[in-house]
Amino acid sequence: MKFRNANFAVLLGLAVLSAAAGQERPPATDPSAVLERLLGEWQMRGDVRGTPVQYRLAGTRVLQGTFVELHMTDVARPAKYEARVFIGYDQQGKRVIAHWMDSFGAAYSIPHGVGAIEGNQIQFEIPYADGPFRDTFVYDRFRDVWTLNIESGDGKGSWRHFACYTITKRP
């Protein structure tokens, strides 16, 4: 009887180890690797305040590799909107620094955003004078797709939808 219980315990242990080995664990957070996933040619589809929009997006390393630049251009001709977003990771402060500049002009290019990278998510908040914006990029590594959710805040802790995009590789 002891022999059977020992075999059962060994088999159970092997089954548990085998099941654990078969499950893919999420990768350790490497901020550079997460930012690296933004590189390439993408298309963005979604909405801004409920109005459907579509952009081309190019992600490149700039400034000696210290930032990833996201260059967004409206697909309409002529383009109705263009933005350049620079996202870098401050190793010492363990934080994301983001500069969002767009065709609305210089006044909307200050201040910069600050946030974090956790897992496959990049989130930063830009504290504009008339209320903060929170940008959340989430990467689905199984589908090689990003989502970008942008929310505007009222300064009292309430957030509301501003824009949402699905970002896929350009064919």
- Domain residue ranges in the chain: 28-169
**pLDDT tens digits, the chain, 171 residues: what are they?**
444 444 433 333 333 333 333 434 344 458 888 999 999 999 999 999 999 999 999 999 999 988 999 999 999 888 889 999 999 999 888 999 999 999 888 887 778 999 999 999 999 999 988 889 999 999 999 999 999 999 999 877 889 999 999 999 998
User: What's the token pair of residue 32?
Assistant: 């550079």
The model's pLDDT over 88-104, given as tens digits with 9 standing for 90+, comes to: 999 888 999 999 999 88
Kindly report whether the global pTM for this prediction surpasses the value 0.75. yes
Question: What is the distance between the alpha carbons of residues 136 and 28, in angstroms, rounded to a whole number?
Answer: 19
For 54-78, give the DSSP string: EEEEEEEEETTTTEEEEEEEESSSS
The model's pLDDT over 29-48, given as tens digits with 9 standing for 90+, comes to: 588 889 999 999 999 999 99
- Residues, the chain, total? 171
- Architecture of the structural domain at 28-169: Beta Barrel (2.40)
